[in-house]
Amino acid sequence: MRIRFMSELSHFCAVFAAGWFGAACVWAGALVDVQQGAALHKQGALLVDVRTPAEYAAGHAPGAVLIPLDQIERRMSELGAKNRPIALICRSGNRSGQAQSILERAGFTSTVNVAGGMNEWARAGLPVAVGDRSR
C-alpha cells in the first residue's frame, strides 16, 4: 500500500505542479517534500505557515501567509474556496499536519502538508525570508 500511495503521490505532484488544479488531482491528507511544496507554491498554491509570529519572523518561505495554528479555525475565510490548493508548513511538519486535519474536517479538499517543515526547507537550500511581513 505504501508503494502505491507514493506512486499516486508522485503523480499528484507532477499533475499539480503542471498547473492542473482540479480537485481530482489532489488527495486530502497528502504529504509532500519541500521541493514539491516549493513547486506547488510557484504554480499558485497558497503556502500557509502555521507557526507563531516570532517563528515566522525569524525565517519563512517567501510568499508564505502566516496563520498560526491556534488561529486557523477562525481565519479559514482568508483561505478562499475550499478547493483552492493549499500547502501547509510549520517548523517540522507536526503543526502543519494538525492544520491540515482541521481544514479537511472543515471541507477543504486540496491541502498538502510539507514534510520536514522550515527545518527541511532551509536544509534543502530553498530561499528563506526574514521579517514579520506576511505577503
Residue 25: C-alpha distances to residues 28, 46, 110 (Å): 10, 16, 9
Joined grid coordinates for residue 102: 482541521
Active site residue 90: yes
- Catalytic residue (choose from 30, 38, 45, 90): 90
Q: Which residues contact 61 (CB under 8 A, 6 or more apart)?
A: 38, 41, 47, 49, 89, 118, 121, 126, 127, 128, 129
- DSSP, collapsed to helix, strand or coil, labels residue 70 as helix
String of b and e for 57-87 (b: at least 16 CB within 10 Å)?
beebbeebbbbbbeebeeebeebeeeeebbb
Q: Please list the active-site residues.
A: 90
